[in-house]
Amino acid sequence: MEESTKLVDESTEALWYVVHTYSGYENKVANDLQTMVENRHLQELICDIKVPVEMVPEIDKNGKQKMVEHKLFPGYVLVKMVMNDDTWYVVRNTRGCTGFVGPASKPVPLTAEEVEKMGVEKAAPLSVDFAVGDTVQITAGPLEGFMGLVEAIDTENFKVKHKVNMFGRETPAEVEIGQVELPKTTGKIRLQRDRSAVLIERVHRVRARGRRGETTPQLTTDFWRCIYYGTESYWLH
């Protein structure tokens, strides 16, 4: 009696595989597959299903900035599974799925290095162009138009905590990341310093210029800006 031919190279541990889908069907394939896994009690064999995304700022039709979800790998779904003929069949026959990524559609698992580089098992970090200690402008919501000093950035929940100067008092506030931006810097150089370290560096630089005999008004202005503003951000024309 002939031994039955295996459709795939079976694995004994759950590994990450890449599944190709029709464009725009990524979430549907992931949701349908998850439902099938639960209905067939396959949670120990098909352990995780991901459609990796990132949040990026975009300008809407009203000129306001908002955070929009973008797929990191359009047309693909990542599945962590123990590969055998049965699990292959379940995934491959999910509506919207066109096959596994691999030679001749033969499933090939991601290597540990690829998993790490793709950030599969951790959330993709959100990139913002401001940092704690920066002064930002609120561009939307009840506090639109106010300036605030950033105290904390929560990239997981897309929130920014800062202090806003309202009626002469500093008031703590929290807004969405997409509702703040750095002030316009046309014609100016923004000096974002590492607190006292940069202050000391600039004081030494100013003193060195003084020893060279540079006693211009700009030199005096630079020195007193260093002393007066201290650890705060400031603008230098």
Q: How confident is the model at residue 99 (pLDDT cuts 50, 70, 90)?
A: very high
Q: How far is CA 137 from CA 13, 178, 184, 221, in A?
A: 50, 11, 9, 26
Q: What number is the average pLDDT over the span 197-213?
A: 53
pLDDT at 6: 66
Residue scoring higher pLDDT (231 or 61): 61
Q: How confident is the model at residue 27 (pLDDT cuts 50, 70, 90)?
A: very high
Q: How confident is the model at residue 126 (pLDDT cuts 50, 70, 90)?
A: low
Q: Give yes or no for a contact between 123 and 48, defined as CB atoms under 8 angstroms apart.
A: no
Tokens of 196: 């006292």
pLDDT at 163: 86
Tokens of 219: 């030199």
Tell whether the model's pLDDT for residue 45 goes beyond 60: yes
Q: How confident is the model at residue 142 (pLDDT cuts 50, 70, 90)?
A: confident
pLDDT at 127: 65
Tell whether the model's pLDDT for residue 201 goes beyond 70: no
pLDDT at 79: 96
Tell whether the model's pLDDT for residue 223 goes beyond 60: no
pLDDT at 189: 35
pLDDT at 39: 94
Q: Is the dihedral of CA 194, 196, 201, 205 positive or negative?
A: positive
For the chain, give the mean pLDDT: 76
Tell whether the model's pLDDT for residue 9 goes beyond 90: no
pLDDT at 141: 77
C-alpha–C-alpha distance, residues 78 and 72, integer Å? 11
Q: What number is the average pLDDT over the span 2-22?
A: 80
End-to-end CA distance of the chain: 87
CATH level 2 (architecture), domain 15-118 = 2-Layer Sandwich (3.30)
Q: What DSSP designation does 120 have?
A: T
H helical segments located in the chain: 26-39, 85-92, 112-118, 195-211, 217-229
Tokens of 72: 């990191």
pLDDT at 124: 53
39-68 b/e (C-beta count within 10 Å ≥ 16 → b): eeebeebbeebbbbbbbebeeeeeeebbbe
pTM of the model: 0.52
Instruction: Give the tens place of pLDDT for each residue, 153-193.
Output: 887 667 888 888 877 788 888 888 878 888 875 333 333 33
Q: For domain 135-181, is the CATH number 2.30.30.30?
A: yes
Domain boundaries, the chain: 15-118, 135-181, 189-236
Q: Give yes or no for a contact between 27 and 94, defined as CB atoms under 8 angstroms apart.
A: no
